[in-house]
Structures are given as structure tokens and as C-alpha cells.
Amino acid sequence: MTDTAAIYLDYNASTSLLPEALDAMLPYLRGNFGNPSSDHASGHRARAAVEHARQQVAAFFGCDADEIVFTSGGTEANNLAIRGAAEAVNDRRRVITSTIEHPATEESCNWLGRHGWTVARAGVDASGIVRVDDVRKALSLDTALVTVMHANGETGVLQPVAEIVEAARVFGAVVHTDAAQSIGKLRLNVRELGVDLLSLAGQKVYAPKGVGALYVKRGTRLHAVLAGAGHERGLRPGTENVASIVGLGVALDRVGCDLETAATRMRELRDDLWRRLVDRIPGIRLNGDSRRRLPNTLNVQFPGVSARKLLHSLPEIEASAGSACHAGDDAPSPVLTAMGMLPDEARNSIRLSLGRQTTNADVARASEALWLAWQAFTDVREPVFQRVK
């Protein structure tokens, strides 16, 4: 970025579109506009493009192409997974989730709660990790589904999904994970993870907004939640968004080529940003587990200053106070309060999430700007140098 450009540190909210993905999409926004369900040459070309993208997504996750269902995004994928799995099991009326889920998961569980299911919520510890013992205690032979995210989008803390899968298997429950925040930052293999259902969102992985996918392990019972025709094996009616699906396939293919290298680079930049902030701001705190987290994410508590006030004074930095999906008011983050933080501590916290385009210069400029703004609000004139232990 140039010295005058805004520093974008909100990659957990949305990423840029990879140039390769855009180039692949353009033909399907211009001449190749056929409906993939039409039985003629234009329709066949569109269908072939969708199926090629399905193979690319499947290759990224280490599954078979027929286990991928395309959706309009992560929210629809979560709704289809949670409501669809619960409704497919007639003799089980219990669902287990956590207290730190994305609104798409939380509201899907709330819908089930209003329609006859019992919903149990596992708590988290002070580091933001779901308590597996809470899940174990809530499990029973009446449990249809366990849904716990793979990584929290606000704190970046990774969740013990594999352990939860192991516990749920004893009771024959289906397991879903919302992996929208992990995709493109960590290598995920659905066979190794062991889940039955996994959601992703295109805008988190350098693909277009308005497209997503759901991995459905072969043999997993799932009901459609939308009424319509038989698209996507009858699980997701509606004409496929061909161009965006193509973009998603290409984005995952490209991201998968250098994922580990990119993750290492983001981790180094993230740690440099944290060191710079710690060196200058006394009492600054990192929210969430310091090691078990996404390589690009910091959730930082600035002592004595509201996060919204701090960010509003810094138009040159684009970041979030909490999740973009909770934006719009000054209520404390439900994720941070679930971790035991006081409301004011949660209100003073900013999520800083880096991406593939973040540079060393961005980190240096951002740390300087954040320190100067915090200093102006607190009237602390000299930096207090400290070291990360």
C-alpha cells in the first residue's frame, strides 16, 4: 500500500478478490451466460464450469466432488447444515452448540429451539476455547447434532473440533463446524478432522461475496431448508451462481498452492504488530489464547479507551470492534463477555486481522497510528517499553 492509502486490517470480515478468480469469472458474466440446468451447448458449458469448480473445492478439502454443495455463502451453508441435519433425524430432538458462535449458527439453533428442539450451549474458558467437558456432559442418545466453529472470527482462537467429534461419535450425533474463518489460513482436511458437515464462505478466502459451500460427508442425512427445484442434489434449490462458483474454485485452488508460506508470513507480520503495540502501550492485553489461534488475528484490548472511539479517530485504519456481523452499536462483544471479560474491557477491544496483501510497512504505520491515537485519548506522553514474554 502507498503512504496515503488506508491500512486494511479487517481480513476476517472480507478479503479482496484474487485477480485469477476475477479473470476466470468474467467469461461467465459476459458470453457464457447459460443456465447450468439447460440441455443445450450454453447450458452444458455452464454445468461443466460448475462441476470443475466442485472438483477444485473438493481437492482443497480432501473429499470427493459429490460431497460439496454450493450455497449463497456461509450463512446459508450454516442454516442448511444445522436445520437440515436436525430435521433429518426424526427421533432426536437435542442440539449442542457453544456460546461463541457466528450469528448464522446461533440463530439457526434459536430457530430449532422455537420449533421443539432442546439447545444446549457449551461455555468457553478465559482463553476463548470451548470446554469439551461441557459438550460431553450435554451429549445424550437424544442428540441429533453438535455444531461448534473451527476458529472464532473475533479472537482467532482455534476450537477443539477433533475432540468434540470423538465425543459425539459415542452417541451417534452428527457434527458440523463453521470453518469460514479457517479456510485459507490453515490447511484443513475433512477426513482427518472427522466432521460430517463443514461450512465455508467465499469472501473470507479471496473469492467473491455471495458464494459459499457446504461439505456433506457421504451418507449424512440432510433435509433441504429452501423449497424449490432439485438443484445441488436436491439440497439447495435455485439456479447456481456460475461465475461466483467458478471464482470460488479458482480462489481455493490458488490459495491452496502456497497456503503454508502465506500463513507463515501472516503470522510473522501479526507477531511484529503485537510486539510494536506492547512496546508502546502500557497495560495493553491480548484477548484469547496466545498460541492456539489463527496466524493472522489479534484481538487487542486498549486500556482506558473505547474501541469505537479509537477507530473513529483513525480513518486511515480499517479494522473492527468485534465482528462485522455484530457491527452497529456499542454493546460489548458476546464472544468476549462469554470469556468472562467485563463489558468495558470488551468495549475497549479491537480485532486486527491481516491478509495476503498486508505489508511490513502497513504493520509499522498501523502500530504508530494506534499508539498515537491511544496516547491522545489517555494523555500518556511517553511510551513505556515492555517486552512480550
Write out the DSSP string of 278-291. HHHSTT-EE-S-SS
Of the residues 63, 109, 257, 325, only one is catalytic, namely 325
How many whole angstroms separate alpha carbon 136 and alpha carbon 239? 41
Sequence-ordered list of residues with C-beta below 8 angstroms from that of 232, at least 6 positions apart, any chain: 69, 70, 240
Per-residue pLDDT of the chain (389 residues; tens, 9 = 90+): 445 689 999 999 999 999 999 999 999 999 889 989 888 999 999 999 999 999 999 999 999 999 999 999 999 999 999 999 999 998 999 999 999 999 999 999 999 999 999 999 999 999 999 999 999 999 999 999 999 999 999 999 999 999 999 999 999 999 999 999 999 999 999 999 999 999 999 999 999 999 999 999 999 999 999 998 889 888 998 989 999 999 999 999 999 999 999 999 999 999 999 999 999 999 999 999 999 999 999 999 999 999 999 999 999 999 998 655 544 567 899 999 999 999 999 999 999 999 999 999 999 999 999 999 999 998 765 554 444 43
The residue extents of the domains of the chain are 7-15+258-378, 19-257
Instruction: Give the CATH fold of the 7-15+258-378 domain.
Output: Aspartate Aminotransferase, domain 1 (3.90.1150)
Sequence-ordered list of residues with C-beta below 8 angstroms from that of 20, at least 6 positions apart, any chain: 250, 251, 254
pLDDT at position 229 is 87
| Cα–Cα nearest to 350, from 379, 308, 378 | 308
Chosen CATH of 19-257 out of 1.10.10.10, 3.40.50.12280, 3.40.640.10, 3.90.420.10: 3.40.640.10
Examine the residue annotation and report whether 325 is marked as an active-site residue of this protein. Answer: yes
pLDDT at position 116 is 95
pLDDT at position 382 is 53
pLDDT at position 223 is 96
Distance of CA 253 to the CA centre of its chain: 18
pLDDT at position 329 is 60
